[in-house]
Amino acid sequence: MDIRHIYIPSVYTNCYLLLDEGTGALAVIDPGDDIADSLGHFCVDNGWDLRSIFLTHGHYDHVGGVNALRHKFPGAAVYLHPEDAGKDTRLLPTAHLGPITLWREGDVVQLGSLQVEVLHTPGHTPGSVCLKCRDALFTGDTLFAGSMGRTDFEGGSDEDMMASLKRLGELEGDFRVFPGHNGFTTLEKEREANPYLKMAMEEVKP
């Protein structure tokens, strides 16, 4: 498994390439703006096969490059949670992404020999997900290094965010965390120092 990071300065978003080195199967996670041409050169030069576009949620700064990628790689499937699909607002322009493969809690998507597990983690948006693959956790705008995603946009929920953070904090073991914005971290570091994650894990259910 190889993970490459592409920073997209136009929308200040982290995009990731998840590669199964044995088969060349490639997924792009959260293409927030047009990277189709540069990615096309990478794929040709390295023999990669772009099979999937994984979206952690439907905000414009995470989906803005989808249509250009679909034009360049028409065989790539686009994955999005149904709660964020089919929206037609400036913030959630997902109705214009073309055919979508809906994924839900507990789904496992095969990428070559890699298995990518979907964790439904609402709070930032109703359809936010985190993606777990071996020791990597792609957290979108749910968990950041030292922080969490905003909940004040339409569809956001403090209560859902706390439940989602608690769930992440209670995952067994440690993970490399690849957020949608800012720097990388680990789950263990966030358990120890992230005030929002600590608060979520300390909450007692009624």
Alpha carbon 201 to its chain centroid, in Å, reads: 22
Tokens at 110, concatenated: 């095969």
pLDDT tens by residue, 19-54: 999 999 999 999 999 999 999 998 989 999 999 999
Say which residue the tokens 């794929």 belong to.
Answer: 43
pLDDT at position 206: 41
> Where residue 65 sits, what CATH number does that domain have?
3.60.15.10
Tokens at 100, concatenated: 């979508």
Q: Give the C-alpha separation, 13 to 170, whole Å.
A: 26
pLDDT(203) > 90: no
Share of the chain above pLDDT 90, in %: 95
Query: Considering its fold, how many domains does the chain have in total?
Result: 1
> For the chain, what is the mean pLDDT?
96
pLDDT tens by residue, 56-111: 999 999 999 999 999 999 999 999 999 999 999 999 999 999 999 999 999 999 99
pLDDT at position 8: 95
- Residue 142: which domain range? 2-202
pTM of the model: 0.96
pLDDT(14) > 80: yes
Range from 23-32, 84-93, 148-157, 197-206 carrying the lowest mean pLDDT: 197-206
Q: Give the C-alpha separation, 108 to 97, whole Å.
A: 22
Nearest Cα to Cα of residue 161 among 206, 196, 109: 196
